[in-house]
């Protein structure tokens, strides 16, 4: 399966999140942020490695994070539910769209 070029955006925390979203300005991407998950304004652009699958993490080869070129590897907590282009993880609700 070829990689899909996507935009992924965090929409909300789940009702049963293990960790609440970090606060913008306090959460430092790329470092250890104990007991918090990504802030709600988090989005990225990159290549989706595999489509979301319940029980597995979604992995993206990221090239842009929140509008800044910042190559890296992104992974969610395990997916718990899939709703079309949206999926829920242990902590968060995400929406993804294919860009090309």
Domain positions in the chain: 4-98
pLDDT band at 44 (very low <50, low <70, confident <90, very high): very high
For position 91, what pLDDT does the model report?
A: 93
Place of tokens 């998950």: 37
For position 77, what pLDDT does the model report?
A: 93
Q: Label residue 19 exposed, middle or buried (CB < 10 Å: 0-12, 13-18, 19+).
A: middle
pTM for this model (two decimals) = 0.90
pLDDT digits (tens, 9 = 90+) for 45-66: 999 999 999 999 999 999 999 9
For position 33, what pLDDT does the model report?
A: 85
- Of 15-19, 27-31, 81-85, where does mean pLDDT reach its minimum? 27-31
Q: Which is nearest to 1 in space by CA: 42, 43, 53? A: 53
């Amino acid at each position: 399966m070829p990689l899909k070029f996507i935009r992924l955006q965090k929409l909300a925390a789940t009702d049963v999140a293990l960790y609440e979203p970090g606060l913008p300005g306090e959460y430092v991407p790329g470092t250890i942020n104990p007991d918090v998950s990504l802030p709600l304004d988090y989005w990225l652009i990159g290549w989706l490695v595999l489509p979301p699958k319940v029980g597995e993490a979604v992995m993206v080869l990221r090239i842009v994070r929140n509008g800044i070129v910042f190559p890296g590897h992104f992974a969610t907590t395990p997916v718990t539910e899939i709703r079309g282009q949206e999926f829920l993880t242990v902590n968060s609700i995400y929406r993804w769209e294919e860009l090309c």
